[in-house]
Amino acid sequence: MAAHPHAPQHDSYDVVIVGGAIMGASTAWFLTENRDFDGRVLVVERDMTFSACSTAHTNSCMRQQFSTELNVRISQFAADFVRNLRTYMGGDPRVPQLSIHEFGYMYLADTPAGAEVLRQNLAVQHAAGAATRLMTPDQIAAAYPFYQLDDIVLGSINPVDEGYWDGATVNDWWRRQARERGVEWVENDVVAMTRNAAGTHVDSVTLASGQVVACGQVVNASGPRAARTAAMAGITVPVEPRKRFTWVFRAETPLDRDLPLTVDPSGVHVREIGGGTYQAGGHADIDPAVAPDDFAMDHSLWENHIWPALANRIPQFEAIRVLSEWVGQYAMNTLDQNAIVGPHPEVGNFVFLNGFSGHGLQQSPAMGRGTAEWLTYGAYRTLDLGQFHYDRITRNRPIIERAII
Ligand SMILES: Cc1cc2nc3c(=O)[nH]c(=O)nc-3n(C[C@H](O)[C@H](O)[C@H](O)COP(=O)(O)OP(=O)(O)OC[C@H]3O[C@@H](n4cnc5c(N)ncnc54)[C@H](O)[C@@H]3O)c2cc1C
């Protein structure tokens, strides 16, 4: 088997997945796990170097601090999956044991309204079993004396199942095991789709190589290119590529204890990497949709916005040296920043797996599992992802996720 074949071996597949990064890999793997699914699966990935996908640019952290209960439960499954990766993957001794670097997320509010949002989110999180707690500025200062807190009204932190995890390893093993179990992965570009005469079914996808592949069901796992892929089937979806910037830096005087992933009221976030290095992220105030191949760095952003915000919140970060930087893209759901999953209401075999904005990595276990269930049974069997169906877009009923980073 060539490392990355371009041509599918067959003319027809039960499931064609457009996009082979973490959502495509998770769905493919969960299909191979399902005893009730015995179909043929093709994953089409346009770039097997994964140079432009969200997955390659992620910060790879997970949290329980969301404002919607379903998002909390989705992340709880992620924590369980990561901690028990080898067991989930059939006890395969090649699969490493993973853990979560639990530094917790520290949300800081600098207004009474912001504090009220933290309180409301806490109630949702507690109801779902998360261990979030609120902290007054005095409590924060006692636990983390390196923060400047003059303007802070309230903080919120959860040290359980919140922090860094190795998403790249999970992604690699999903792909590797799925391929070993017979899923075909080709490096090719889906460039068109054909619907049946009634318009209710995608009959086939066309590849850049010209090959036409018939499909029982098609999954849109194409990240920031989701709207382009949907348009091939004559479908609109409110997902846009938005630039997100990351910097890794070394502090001249490292902090004397773990830095929580701190979500500053300015929108800048920063976390621990280890060994005196840290990772900060943010975006420009003007945040337009960009072309899916636009990864140009905005150098003024660091000087004018990110570094000043960091140095204001943690004065020790006035003396730092940037080691690396990169630009990634969110697949931003502009309606409500939440996932869009499940079938299109009229084109029933077109299945969305889109719009994960800044939290798709941690959602990949639950979303892949749920999508595999939908493809197999036409229903969810474990966690009900029905809330995130496309219907809410046509009805303009957003389920706003307020805890977006
Ligand atoms: C800077 C940054 C930080 C982030 N931090 C976090 C975090 O800490 N925690 C978290 O949970 N999430 C985070 N995210 C979000 C997370 O990384 C994404 O939600 C997740 O990786 C989305 O995966 P995906 O498979 O849906 O999309 P992608 O990774 O973008 O993959 C889509 C794939 O589809 C392929 N494709 C597109 N169109 C076609 C086509 N027509 N034919 C064939 N292939 C096609 C692309 O080449 C691509 O490989 C972050 C994202 C960014 C950008």
- Per-residue pLDDT of 109-167, as tens digits, reads 999 999 999 999 999 999 999 999 999 999 999 999 999 999 999 999 999 999 999 99
Element (H, E) at 251: strand 239-251
Ligand 1 atom at minimal distance to the Cα of residue 45: 44
How would you classify residue 381: left for phi > 0, otherwise alpha for psi between -120 and 50, otherwise beta? Answer: alpha
Per-residue pLDDT at 3: 63
Confidence check: pLDDT of 2 > 60: no
Is the C-beta atom of 225 inside 6 A of ligand 1? yes
pLDDT, mean over the chain: 96
Instruction: State which of 26, 27, 50, 53 you would mutate to test the pocket of ligand 1, scoring each by most atoms of that ligand within 8 A of its C-beta.
Output: 53
Is the C-beta atom of 53 inside 6 A of ligand 1? yes
Using CB atoms within 10 A of its CB, is residue 400 exposed (0-12), middle (13-18) or buried (19+)? exposed
Ligand 1 atom at minimal distance to the Cα of residue 222: 34
> Where do we find the tokens 């346009």?
46
- Per-residue pLDDT of 3-31, as tens digits, reads 679 999 999 999 999 999 999 999 999 99
Give 317 Cα–ligand 1 centroid separation in angstroms: 30
Give 96 Cα–ligand 1 centroid separation in angstroms: 23
Tell me which residue of 206, 229, 255, 226 sits closest to 329, measured CA to CA.
226
Q: Is the whole-model pTM more than 0.75?
A: yes
Per-position DSSP letters for 181-233, written without gaps between them:
TT-EEEE--EEEEEE-TTSSSEEEEEETTS-EEEEEEEEE--GGGHHHHHHHT
- Per-residue pLDDT of 197-215, as tens digits, reads 999 999 999 999 999 999 9
Mean pLDDT of 392-401: 93
Share of the chain above pLDDT 70, in %: 99
Please, which residues have CB within 8 angstroms of residue 311's CB and are 6 or more apart in sequence? Answer: 317, 318
Per-residue pLDDT at 402: 82
- Per-residue pLDDT of 317-371, as tens digits, reads 999 999 999 999 999 999 999 999 999 999 999 999 999 999 999 999 999 999 9
Per-residue pLDDT at 325: 97
Is the C-beta atom of 60 inside 6 A of ligand 1? yes
- Per-residue pLDDT of 230-249, as tens digits, reads 999 999 999 999 999 999 99
